[in-house]
Structure formats: C-alpha cells, structure tokens
Amino acid sequence: MKKIIFFAVILLLSITGASAQKVYTKNGNISFFSTAPLENITADNNQVMSVLDTKTGELLFSVLIKGFHFKKSLMEEHFNENYLESNKYPKASFKGNVSEKNKIDYSKDGTHSVNVNGDMTIHGVTQKVSASGTISVKSGAVSAVSKFTIKLADYNIGIPGVVKDQIAETIDINVSCRFDQKM
Amino acid sequence: MRLNTKKIILISFLIIATFGFTVGYYMYNKGPVDVKNSSGIKISAQDLYEAFSTDSVTALKKYSTRIVNVRGTINNISTNVEDKQIVTLKTGSEGAYINCVIEEAPSPINEGEEVNIKGICSGIGQGEPELGIKGDVYLSRCFIEK
C-alpha cells in the first residue's frame, strides 16, 4: 500500500512538473545586428527576463537597456546616451501571445513553429509587433527563439545626420530563451 | 620671413591634424572597459540589492554602468541559453539576487561559498510582481575573486 502511495505521489509530482503553467528565465538572450557601410554593429544582452504561460500562451519580456554590450565602448556610450536614452527609458518590454498555444503539448518533446503578436515598448514608444519563432520542449525544458526586424524610426530613435549613412534604418533582433524556472 | 611663417603654420596644422586623427581613431576603436584590472565600488550583495529596492533612481545614478565589486554568498551556478555562466549571490531577500553574467571564474566555485564578484552594473530588473517574481540586480562582464 505504501509503495502504491509513493509511486502515485512521484507520478503526480512528475506530471505537475512537466505541465507547470508558467515557466520563466531571468537570463535569456537578446542580440541585435545592424548592417552599416562603415562597419556592422552587434550587441548582446544576457539579462533578459521572460515569462511564458503555457496554458494561456501569454508571453512577456523585459530587458534593461544598459545590459546591452558592444565590442567598442564608444558605440555603447552613443547607444545609451544618444539613441536609446537609457537614463530616461531604462527598460524595453514586450507583452503578447503565442497564436498556436493549443497546438503545443508541453508534456512531450517537440519543436513547434509559432507566431507571436503583441505590444513592444522601446524608447518609451509602444508598437504592435508580429514575429515568427520556434518553441521547443526537451525533457520538460522549454526554449524559445525568434528573429525579427524593427525600424528605428518607429520607436522615435533618431540618427544624427553626420552618421546617418553609417547606421542602418532597420535592425535585426534575435531572441533566445531557455525557461529554466517553473511556477 | 613670410615663407617661414607659412611653413610653421603648415607644419603646426599637420601636427594638430595627425594628433586629432590619432586620438579620434583610438577613441573610436577603444574596446570595452577593463573590469578585471579595476578596483570597482566595494559593496555587499545585501547592501547593493537594498539600495536598488528602496530607491532605484538614486541607486541607478550611483551604480549603473559603473564597475562594482560585490561581496556575497553564491546562491546558484548555472549556464543560460547562450552557454554563458550565470552566478547569483544571495541578498537576504528570498527570490531576489545579484545576477552576474560571468566572463572569468576560478575553478572550482561552489554554491554557499563567499566570493567577490566584479562587474558592470546594469540596474534592477522589473521582475513580474503579479506572479511574485522579484527583479534581480544585474552585473555583466563579471570576474570572480575568492
């Protein structure tokens, strides 16, 4: 009898663990890439907070602008002071939903192509965005990746005339998260 | 005499232009700040978290983009999706940590060990208060010293 109860508890715990409703990470990655005539610009940030509700499909991201790091310190300084004004707007965020939430079985290993729609706030400006990506489940661990492009002008990020030819009007953004914590 | 003056002006201009170009080139290509060989602002993990959680505006002015040298106890050691080593330090507030993206660490390091971590402070994450997820204070390009 004790054995049956023991195995029942183990089974219950493993099911609960595999199908935890909300998974999150505080160390996801966002990197961006901008092609420019003088030189390409890249930066990355490993301080991305993200929460995925596996039942409702709700997806949240929040990132500190000062957590983006560049190869050159002058680029980082200009990014923070002149373009993103990170003292005034210290965070960027996204709040949206995974469209194919019902097609994903989080209790089984698999890779699923998804679309995410929601509101992205950068530089104090909120815009509707839509992006495609992938959600993977492996041994109960959930990961997500996405790649999309944004226009700097859509977020009132002005480029001074002197360097206008050196900085692209759009940048490619890569998002990558392994949701290592559950609740 | 006039020829000499012209020569002096021309040479002076060339020296200034060369100097300006060299300084500009150096500034443009200057790499990231040298965290490893900086002393940084010394503070405990508990005090740094408290500074941000009680008055984030003042704490941002004082610590953000600066090198801090934080002493604390290791809560957890892990790697993120990009295989970057992440070390969190206890702050005295359950669920909130000093979250450090590691550049270089001595081996081995263990959970529960007391260490100094030097890194660039980015600020405090907003967490997700509705879900009870507290924001961490983030450091990047970190070096661990025992």
Q: pLDDT tens digits for A17-42?
A: 445 699 999 999 999 998 877 778 89
In the DSSP assignment, the letter for residue B133 is B
Mutate to test the interface with B, among A24, A26, A45, A77 (most CBs of B within 10 A): A26
Residue A12 has a pLDDT of: 44
Alpha carbon B12 to its chain's center: 41
What domain range is B25 assigned to?
Answer: 1-31
Same domain for B26 and B52, yes or no, is no
Q: Tell me the three state secondary structure of residue B80.
A: coil
| Residues B51 and B102 grouped into a single domain | yes
- Looking at CA atoms only, how far is residue A138 from chain B in angstroms? 13
d(CA B64, CA A66): 8
Asked if A73 and B84 come within 8 Å (Cβ–Cβ), the reply is no
3-state secondary structure of A95: strand
Same domain, B7 and B75: no
Percent of chain A surpassing pLDDT 90? 69
Query: Nearest residue on chain B to A45, judged by CA atoms?
Result: B140
Percent of residues, chain B, with pLDDT higher than 90: 68
Counting the structural domains of chain B, the total is 2
B75, B8: one domain: no
Q: What's at B76, amino acid-wise? A: N
Indicate if B19 and B51 belong to the same structural domain: no
Q: Which residues, 6 or more positions from A12, have their beta carbon under 8 angstroms from its beta carbon?
A: none
What integer pLDDT is reported at residue A30 of this predicted model? Answer: 98
One pLDDT digit (tens) per residue for chain B, 146 residues: 567 888 888 888 888 888 888 877 777 777 778 899 999 999 999 999 999 999 999 999 999 999 999 999 999 999 999 999 999 999 999 999 999 999 998 889 999 999 999 999 999 998 988 889 999 999 999 999 98
Cα–Cα distance, A148 to A138 (Å, whole number)? 24
**Which pair of structure tokens corresponds to residue B10?**
């021309």
Q: Looking at the structure, tell me whether residues B83 and B126 fall in a common domain.
A: yes
The reply to whether B137 and B80 lie within a common domain is yes
B139 within 8 A of A67, measured Cβ to Cβ? no
Q: Where are the beta strands (DSSP E) in chain A?
A: 22-34, 41-53, 58-64, 69-70, 91-98, 110-122, 125-138, 141-151, 170-179, 181-182
Q: Considering only alpha carbons, which residue of chain A is nearest residue B81?
A: A178
* Residues B50 and B121 occupy one common structural domain: yes
Whole-prediction pTM value?
Answer: 0.85
Structure tokens at B119: 């890194």
Tokens of A142: 């959930």
Residues B20 and B47 reside in one and the same domain: no
Q: How far is B132 from chain A (nearest CA, A)?
A: 10
Instruction: Give the pLDDT band of residue A15 (cuts 50, 70, 90).
Output: very low
Provide the residue type at A102 as one letter. N
Identify which of B30, B81, B132 has the shortest CB distance to residue A73. Answer: B30
What integer pLDDT is reported at residue B29 of this predicted model?
73
- B63 and B135 fall within a common domain: yes
Q: B61 to chain A, minimum CA–CA distance in Å?
A: 9
For chain B, helix (H) and strand (E) counts, in that order, are: 3, 6
Residues B4 and B57 in one domain: no
User: Given B99, B123, B141, which is nearest A26 (Cβ)?
Assistant: B99
Query: What's the rounded Cα separation, in Å, for the pair A94 and A129?
Result: 9
**Would B36 be classed as within a structural domain?**
no
Query: What does pLDDT average to over chain A?
Result: 88
CATH number at B53 reads 2.40.50.140
Q: Which of B86, B104, B94, B78 is nearest to B133 (CA)?
A: B94
- Per-residue model confidence (pLDDT) at position A8: 53
- Beta-carbon contacts below 8 Å between A and B: 97
In chain A, the domains with their CATH numbers are: 21-182 (2.40.128.110)
CB B120 within 8 A of CB B69: no
Q: Are residues B26 and B46 in the same domain?
A: no
Q: Which residues does B contribute to its contact with A (CB < 8 Å)?
A: 27-33, 60, 64-65, 78, 80-82, 84, 86, 99, 101, 120, 122-123, 125-128, 131-133, 135-136, 138, 140-141
Q: Out of B31, B65, B138, whose CB is closest to A72?
A: B31
For residue A166, CA distances in Å to A40, A81, B20 come to: 9, 18, 21
